[in-house]
Chain A
Amino acid sequence: MNHLPILPILLPSLTGTLMLLPPLSKSLKARRWITCTVLIMLMVIVAVLFLSAHRQTITYALGGWQPPFGIVLVVDRFSALLLAVTAILAFCAGIYSADQEDRQSSLFHPLLLFQVMGINGAFLTGDLFNLFVFFEMLLIASYALLIHGGGSEKTKAGFHYVTLNLIGSALFLVALGTLYGTMGTLNMADMSAKVGFLLPEDQVLAKTGGLLLLLVFSLKSALLPLHFWLPKTYAAASASVVALFAVMTKVGVYSICRVFGGIFGSNAGALANIATPWIWPLAIATVALGSIGIFAATSLRLLTANMVIVSVGTLLITFVIEGGQSLLFGFYYLLHSTVVTGALFLIADQIGKQRGAAMDRFVTARPVTRATLLGGVFLIASIAAVGLPPLSGFIGKVLILHSASRFAEQVWVWPALLASSLMAMIAFSRAGSRFFWNVSAQKPVSGPKMRFAQIAAIFILLSTVALMTVFADAILAYSQGAVGDLRQNATIIERHHETDRGHVHGVQES
């Protein structure tokens, strides 16, 4: 059996645990290098998985216990896409933290790796209860990372974040209990095979459970009425942490796609597409409210946090347009928006450090020391984030707008997306002119230097955006396959049984 699928979980978890123990917990340098190596290894592993998932969906039965009774990890093209973006973002967050967050305590690197383990696990698992477990893993690491470094603002934001997520977890368990009670399984592929054959009296219960899951995932992905925690939390956390958090809302979006595109998808009989009537208005309202938030933001961090909210709304719009036919453009936009918001959070931190007490707030303050470099990366990142040509944001947005071909959809989608882009453009140009042109006559702060690793992290993220623009066609083809994998995950179990049987026969013959 090929053990590659378990490595994105095992590798960070083992190294994270080792780093808690004496020889490594004493030496900052060793921890730094090991984290860096592990994150590079993770990128290689994910690249291999990415390519092999393109040929065939990989299932990995933990401990050899067969699905649907055992727990499986599933690497299809959808999870491989998200694993890839997580690996890139985690690497950049890891090298950005050098000499900054990682000096504050010896626990930073282990926590970062535990968080990566949780995110990878959530993307890999093919079992709904296991998804809950990995959610808790990534959350408990994120709680600790959020308040890492201390400070009263962080503890307050942390308390709200933790409380909200604990209540979310309670609802998650209620939903799982309801679904297990009706379907008798929590394996996602098995559920999507069984959901069409539910008795009418069980259908109501299953629908309740499904919509409770929607509530939970909306909380994680910051969909409209449940998004209030996000801006404050993201503004309070430190830079490399929040860059990694850029992928956290996407875990919620991923789960919505998995559950409501896979289990309660179009093959679910009476329960097909139960989430669509809810997601439509909420996604559009999320885009609208996020755009207002972009306008109202007082600092670049808050602005980027609101960009995260807008991107979540946009992604979920693609989930429902045309009955989900345009989801592949959504996946492309998902990769783009995650990387760009991650880069913007890092740039905001760089700008903030050079402006003294003004931080990254939109006020007139002293000029930054390396205005050309910072201004350049800020310009590129904001062009990509707003969705101006020639970068990937433009491609993504045009494709999404183009996919809304029916008039009834255009009426809602076009104004929402176009107005949000316009508002983002105004907000970003205002921010840029404040930071780089409308400056006071004071001398720049001489203290903080820009470290090579930090600039490198920003450049890696921005060049990923550039690569995504150049290879848009290939990524779209891959996303098309990912949508296909998402829709037909009921076949996974059968295929797994087949390959397994073949394997057993092979052993007996030899």
Chain B
Amino acid sequence: MELVFALCVGVTTSCGVYLCLRGTTFTVVIGITLLSYAVNLFLFASGRLHLNAAPILGISQHIADPLPQALVLTAIVIGFGMTAFLVVLAMRTHADWGSDHVDGKPKAIEEVIQQENRQP
């Protein structure tokens, strides 16, 4: 179980990092979402992985640490709000600059390249 869990966190993180390094806001938003999923899973695992364990005393034989679960819950809520804000901001950037490139206007760059190609 630990291996599968670790692989899940690792693969999600690497996908998130890859997507964050892309040039369009949409992929960056998706990348950050994946990153926050991976982080939430990681945080959950910091209380160790248990099977058949309740975070409440007296319900099961083994007891899971309730604190990481509370931390994850907080982190999910915060991450959700932040992602929503980022989506709105990405749409605003798109409206302001007419493209969803993270640096604003790749159109201008394309035009410059086209002009340079035309000149010779």
Binding site for B on A (CB under 8 A): 129, 133, 136, 140, 143-144, 147, 151-152, 155-156, 158-160, 162-163, 166-167, 169-170, 173-174, 176-178, 180-181
List 11 additional A-B contacts (Cβ < 8 Å) besides A155-B89, A177-B42, A180-B68. Answer: A144-B85, A152-B96, A155-B92, A155-B93, A158-B89, A159-B25, A166-B35, A169-B79, A173-B43, A176-B71, A177-B71
In B17-44, which residues have CB < 8 Å from any A CB? Answer: 20, 25, 28, 32, 35-36, 38-40, 42-43
Q: With A155-B89, A170-B36, A177-B46 given, is the CB distance from A163 to B20 under 8 Å?
A: yes
Whether B14 is near chain A, meaning CB under 8 Å from some CB there, is no
Q: With A163-B20, A167-B20, A177-B46 given, is the CB distance from A136 to B92 under 8 Å?
A: no
Q: Please, which residues of chain B bring their CB within 8 A of the CB of A160?
A: 102
Q: Please, which residues of chain B bring their CB within 8 A of the CB of A177?
A: 39, 42-43, 45-46, 68, 71
Q: Mark B75-87, 1 if CB is under 8 A from A, else 0.
A: 1001101110110
Q: With A129-B71, A140-B81, A180-B46 given, is the CB distance from A166 to B86 under 8 Å?
A: yes
Q: Interface on chain A toward B: helix, strand, loop, or mixed SS?
A: helix
Q: Which residue of B lies closest to A69 (CB)?
A: B67
Whether B10 is near chain A, meaning CB under 8 Å from some CB there, is no
Choose from A152, A163, A173 the contact partner of B75 (Cβ within 8 Å). Answer: A173
Q: Please, which residues of chain A bring their CB within 8 A of the CB of B86?
A: 159, 162-163, 166
Residue pair A180, B85 in contact (C-beta under 8 Å)? no
Q: With A177-B68, A180-B68 given, is the CB distance from A133 to B78 under 8 Å?
A: yes
Q: List 8 A–B pairs whose Cβ atoms lie within 8 Å, in order of A's numbering.
A: A151-B96, A155-B96, A156-B104, A163-B86, A170-B35, A176-B43, A176-B46, A177-B45
Q: Please, which residues of chain A bring their CB within 8 A of the CB of B25?
A: 159
Compute how far the CA of A176 lies from the CA of B68 in the bound complex, rounded to whole angstroms. 10
Binding site for A on B (CB under 8 A): 20, 25, 28, 32, 35-36, 38-40, 42-43, 45-48, 67-68, 71, 74-75, 78-79, 81-83, 85-86, 89-90, 92-93, 96-97, 102-104
Residue pair B103, A156 in contact (C-beta under 8 Å)? yes
Compute how far the CA of A163 lies from the CA of B47 in the bound complex, rounded to whole angstroms. 28
Residue pair B90, A159 in contact (C-beta under 8 Å)? yes
Choose from A155, A158, A166 the contact partner of B82 (Cβ within 8 Å). Answer: A166
Choose from B43, B71, B82, B102 the contact partner of A159 (Cβ within 8 Å). Answer: B102
* Min CB–CB distance A80 → chain B (angstroms): 27
Q: With A155-B93, A166-B82 given, is the CB distance from A181 to B35 under 8 Å?
A: no
> Which among A143, A158, A170, A180 has the highest number of chain B CB atoms within 10 Å?
A170
Residue pair A152, B97 in contact (C-beta under 8 Å)? yes
Residue pair A140, B39 in contact (C-beta under 8 Å)? no
Q: Please, which residues of chain A bring their CB within 8 A of the CB of B75?
A: 173
Choose from A133, A144, A155, A173 the contact partner of B39 (Cβ within 8 Å). Answer: A173
Compute how far the CA of A151 lies from the CA of B47 in the bound complex, rounded to whole angstroms. 45
Residue pair B89, A143 in contact (C-beta under 8 Å)? yes
Q: Which residue of B lies closest to A209 (CB)?
A: B46
Residue pair B85, A143 in contact (C-beta under 8 Å)? yes
* Min CB–CB distance B48 → chain A (angstroms): 8
Residue pair A133, B74 in contact (C-beta under 8 Å)? yes
Q: Please, which residues of chain B bring their CB within 8 A of the CB of A151?
A: 96
Compute how far the CA of A167 lies from the CA of B96 in the bound complex, rounded to whole angstroms. 24
Compute how far the CA of A194 lies from the CA of B67 in the bound complex, rounded to whole angstroms. 18
Compute how far the CA of A160 lies from the CA of B67 in the bound complex, rounded to whole angstroms. 33
Q: With A159-B89, A167-B32, A173-B39 given, is the CB distance from A180 to B67 under 8 Å?
A: yes
* Min CB–CB distance A182 → chain B (angstroms): 9
Q: Please, which residues of chain B bring their CB within 8 A of the CB of A173?
A: 39-40, 42-43, 75
Compute how far the CA of A167 lies from the CA of B31 in the bound complex, rounded to whole angstroms. 10
Q: Please, which residues of chain A bring their CB within 8 A of the CB of B40?
A: 173
Q: With A159-B102, A167-B32, A177-B42 given, is the CB distance from A140 to B85 under 8 Å?
A: yes
Choose from A147, A167, A181 the contact partner of B89 (Cβ within 8 Å). Answer: A147
Compute how far the CA of A147 lies from the CA of B93 in the bound complex, rounded to whole angstroms. 11
* Min CB–CB distance A207 → chain B (angstroms): 16
Compute how far the CA of A48 lies from the CA of B105 in the bound complex, rounded to whole angstroms. 51
Choose from B35, B81, B92 the contact partner of A167 (Cβ within 8 Å). Answer: B35
Q: Which residue of A lies closest to B36 (CB)?
A: A170
Q: Please, which residues of chain A bring their CB within 8 A of the CB of B48?
A: 181
Compute how far the CA of A178 lies from the CA of B43 in the bound complex, rounded to whole angstroms. 8
Q: Which residue of A lies closest to B9 (CB)?
A: A174
> Which among B20, B28, B92 has the highest number of chain A CB atoms within 10 Å?
B92
Q: Please, which residues of chain A bring their CB within 8 A of the CB of B93?
A: 155-156, 159
Q: Please, which residues of chain B bring their CB within 8 A of the CB of A174?
A: 39, 42-43
Residue pair A163, B85 in contact (C-beta under 8 Å)? no
Compute how far the CA of A173 lies from the CA of B71 in the bound complex, rounded to whole angstroms. 9
Residue pair A162, B102 in contact (C-beta under 8 Å)? no
